[in-house]
Chain A
């Protein structure tokens, strides 16, 4: 039973480009959460999605960031026109039920904006 899979593990983008981060939840999990970890900071909640629905996006920056979890395929976190401040580790977690206590995390995508 594969765990939460995130790809790519490392992503380098130039300022102004788009970054797409993918997350495949564990088998049987229909709830996905995205977190961002900035250097020297903790895990900051970004968005909570179920299949085809955004449940809570209160942690998403108002501009340039979007997320989706389509009926088929992985969840995607999209960052448009990246800036240096977007450089961080982005983690995805999944759970089989409504709440994300004891959710399972992927290994993260480290985004570097140059």
Chain B
């Protein structure tokens, strides 16, 4: 049962354009959402997050949008740079078993073409 879904396994974008990565979730108990970035042979690194009480959070070139009614969030990267090429994991957290448990999606591989 995949509670966090990233339906696009890969995405190619031209340098300078906008990259939009999408994520859907099914569990309405999730109240905090995160994006992680992962380069090959490295561990994931935290990128940006958003609380369920907000619908937008911005950090430089990265913006996360949350649509609670649709159980959908997206990560916008603008302008995209070749160094952004990586796998992006969407994650959602909610209380489970007495702690804030994080569930990850399957990832989207972004390729930014110079």
Verify if A34 is at the interface (C-beta below 8 Å from B).
Answer: no
Indicate which residue in A4, A40, A45, A99 contacts B103 across the interface (CB closer than 8 Å): A45
Indicate which residue in A35, A102, A108 contacts B34 across the interface (CB closer than 8 Å): A102
Which chain B residues border A104 with CB–CB below 8 Å?
46
Verify if B114 is at the interface (C-beta below 8 Å from A).
Answer: no
Which chain B residues border A113 with CB–CB below 8 Å?
none
A106 CA / B41 CA spacing, docked (Å): 10
CB within 8 Å of A: which of B96-110?
A: 96-107
Verify if B22 is at the interface (C-beta below 8 Å from A).
Answer: no
A110 CA / B9 CA spacing, docked (Å): 21
A60 CA / B93 CA spacing, docked (Å): 19
A92 CA / B51 CA spacing, docked (Å): 24
Interface of B is mostly: strand
Indicate which residue in B6, B49, B104, B105 contacts A101 across the interface (CB closer than 8 Å): B49
Contact assessment for B44 and A105 in the assembled complex, using a CB-CB cutoff below 8 Å = yes
CB within 8 Å of A: which of B62-114?
A: 89, 93, 96-107
Which chain B residues border A44 with CB–CB below 8 Å?
104
B-binding residues in A (CB < 8 A):
4, 6, 33, 35, 40-45, 48, 55-56, 58, 91, 93, 98-108
A-binding residues in B (CB < 8 A):
4, 6, 9, 32, 34, 36, 41-46, 49, 89, 93, 96-107
Known: A41-B106, A43-B107, A99-B101. 13 other contacts (CB 8 A): A40-B9, A42-B105, A42-B106, A43-B89, A43-B104, A45-B104, A48-B99, A55-B97, A56-B101, A58-B97, A98-B100, A99-B99, A107-B42
Nearest first, the 7 A-B pairs at minimum CB distance are A99-B100, A105-B43, A42-B106, A43-B104, A42-B104, A107-B43, A105-B44
